[in-house]
Amino acid sequence: MKLQKIVNRLQKLHPKEIDLSLDRVKNLCTKLGNPQDKIKAISIIGTNGKYSTIQVLFAILKKAKFKCNIYTSPHIQKINERFVFNNKELDDENLANLFEEIEEANENQPITFFEILTAAFFKKASEYRDNINLVETGLFHRFDATNILKENLASIVTSIGLDHLDWLPENEQTVEKIIFEKTSSLLKSIIIVAKQSSKEVTECIKKTISDNKSQKLFFNEDYSFSLKENGFFYYEDKFGGLKLPLPNIHGGFQLENVSSAIATARVIENLTIKENHIQTGVTKIHSIARLQELTSGKLKELAKNNRLFVDGSHNPLGAKVLNEHLQTLNCNKHIILGMMANKDHQDYMKYFKDISSLTTIDITNQPNSIKGIDLKNKLTNFPNVQYKENIYEAIKSISVKENDIILITGSLYLAGEVLNLN
């Protein structure tokens, strides 16, 4: 209760949810003694795959006996997920105490919720000088609150695509502009660029960072992977090749995130990551709401013997890779969809092929979501689309056969609701 009261106060410190500027967070961090200057960080920037890449890297680093602090957003089920220190989520009492300390230092000055959370993370992280910090960038990077680090160990650029276009001027809503916002201010250290959706995107990233003097690694040029038979994949970079077990996360696209994490772990000299750390780490990845299978719980009971998945993808690039995975499955696929109002709903759904049924639903307690009935009316090109008020009714309404799967997708907020209900 104490934690929620403080969160409610912090959310009222600025009239806007997002106000792209670095001045407020810099001023607050100055009052806190500039804690961001006292940590060892790996920055993770991109549109999709940031969370998964962080979780893979975390799993490898833990096997190598490193202690990590992790900052991610948004949270799925509870705000504590955003604050990991010494390999553990901060509990309610300590998180409330941390927020109170930051709130007092801020002296009721206008600041966005994300900015004050970022300052709180840096302050707590500075107490663990030897830890490796895995810091996810939010909306964009150039004016993101996390972009006040003066130096870091490396920057990972995950897959970049169209998302959050409502925060850009109408004439600048292009992937080139997003690439500029995300990569033009990367620090000089090491830059690892993951597999992109096209050669054109990769070339645009190269052009944008051409004046950056960092050591640069590009997928398929400096590191790569190939999927092999008999349940393993082969990773290769300048240090040699690794025969690795398949990771414990679903989706062939996740190998792209896994390979970027491995490349990062191996190229940072002081980490001294060994082959066995990677081999074991990739089988111990903890991932929430990224093609996560629900194997027990209330919602799983409704699905009975059919497999039930939840995935928080919410932009066209995420839909594209998710559908590519679904196409590898020899079964009927039933989608339950809920989305935020500011997303391109038709562009998201255009990637899904051969869907046996589509059910739209409301995302409760999210005023910025689109009503399920309105979403249904926008997706009339799907002949078998229906609307149900909630997730329970949606699952019960689907006529499934043996081996069919049910996938709940379209929003991280919906994913959080699903996991809490389950």
- What φ, ψ does residue 252 adopt, rounded to 5°? -60, -30
Distance CA 387, CA 406 (A): 15
The answer as to whether 286 is a domain residue is no
The answer as to whether 88 is a domain residue is yes
Q: What is the pLDDT of residue 28?
A: 98
**Mean per-residue pLDDT, 167-178:** 77
CATH number at 65 reads 3.40.1190.10
**Mean per-residue pLDDT, 132-139:** 92
From 227, 257, 281, the end of a domain falls on 281
Q: Please, what is the average pLDDT of the chain?
A: 94
Distance CA 148, CA 104 (A): 21
For the segment 20-79, what is each residue's pLDDT rounded down to a tens digit? 889 999 999 999 999 999 999 999 999 999 999 999 999 999 999 999 999 999 999 999
From 227, 252, 281, the end of a domain falls on 281
The answer as to whether 37 is a domain residue is yes
The answer as to whether 345 is a domain residue is yes
Of 334, 237, 342, the residue nearest 18 (C-alpha): 342
Same domain, 252 and 334: no
Kindly report the pTM of this predicted structure: 0.94
Q: What is the pLDDT of residue 163?
A: 65
Among all chains, which residue has been given the structure tokens 């082959």? Answer: 275
The one-letter amino acid code at 181 reads: E
168 confidence band (pLDDT: 50, 70, 90): low
From 281, 301, 320, the end of a domain falls on 281
Same domain, 199 and 243: yes
299: domain range? 292-421
Same domain, 320 and 180: no
Same domain, 386 and 262: no
Q: What is the pLDDT of residue 20?
A: 80
Same domain, 108 and 89: yes
Number of domains the chain contains: 2
Question: Taking a C-beta distance cutoff of 8 angstroms, is the pair 158, 264 a contact?
Answer: no
Q: Please, what's the b/e burial string for 342-355 (b: 16 or more CB within 10 A of its CB; e: otherwise)? A: ebbbeebbebbeeb
Same domain, 189 and 306: no
Same domain, 230 and 346: no
Of 385, 383, 331, 391, the residue nearest 362 (C-alpha): 391
166 confidence band (pLDDT: 50, 70, 90): low
Same domain, 258 and 350: no
**Mean per-residue pLDDT, 407-422:** 96
Give the DSSP H/E element, type plus range, for residue 50.
helix 50-63
Same domain, 262 and 367: no
246: tokens are 């398949």
- Percent of the chain beyond pLDDT 90? 85
Residue 139 has pLDDT above 80, yes or no: no
For CA atoms 247, 252, 256, 259, give the dihedral sign: positive
For the segment 299-350, what is each residue's pLDDT rounded down to a tens digit? 999 999 999 999 999 988 889 999 999 999 999 999 999 999 989 899 999 9
164 confidence band (pLDDT: 50, 70, 90): low
Residue 4 has pLDDT above 80, yes or no: yes
Residue 15 has pLDDT above 90, yes or no: no
Q: Which residues contact 257 (CB under 8 A, 6 or more apart)?
A: 49, 52, 53, 56, 158, 194
Q: Which residues contact 6 (CB under 8 A, 6 or more apart)?
A: 96, 99, 100, 103
227 confidence band (pLDDT: 50, 70, 90): confident
Distance CA 379, CA 375 (A): 6
The answer as to whether 407 is a domain residue is yes
> Measured between alpha carbons, how far is residue 309 from residues 56, 249, 334, 408 in Å?
20, 12, 10, 6
For the segment 90-130, what is each residue's pLDDT rounded down to a tens digit? 999 999 999 999 999 999 999 999 999 999 999 999 999 99
CATH number at 354 reads 3.90.190.20
Q: What is the pLDDT of residue 232?
A: 92
Residue 385 has pLDDT above 90, yes or no: yes
167 confidence band (pLDDT: 50, 70, 90): low
The answer as to whether 287 is a domain residue is no
Same domain, 200 and 121: yes
Same domain, 312 and 360: yes
Residue 414 has pLDDT above 80, yes or no: yes
Same domain, 49 and 157: yes
Residue 173 has pLDDT above 80, yes or no: no
What strands lie across the sheet with 215-218, from one edge to the other?
88-89, 83-85, 68-71, 132-136, 40-45, 154-157, 190-193, 215-218
Distance CA 307, CA 296 (A): 10
Distance CA 34, CA 212 (A): 25
Distance CA 3, CA 95 (A): 7
Q: Which of 49-53, 243-247, 255-259, 380-384 has the lowest mean pLDDT?
A: 380-384
Distance CA 162, CA 154 (A): 24
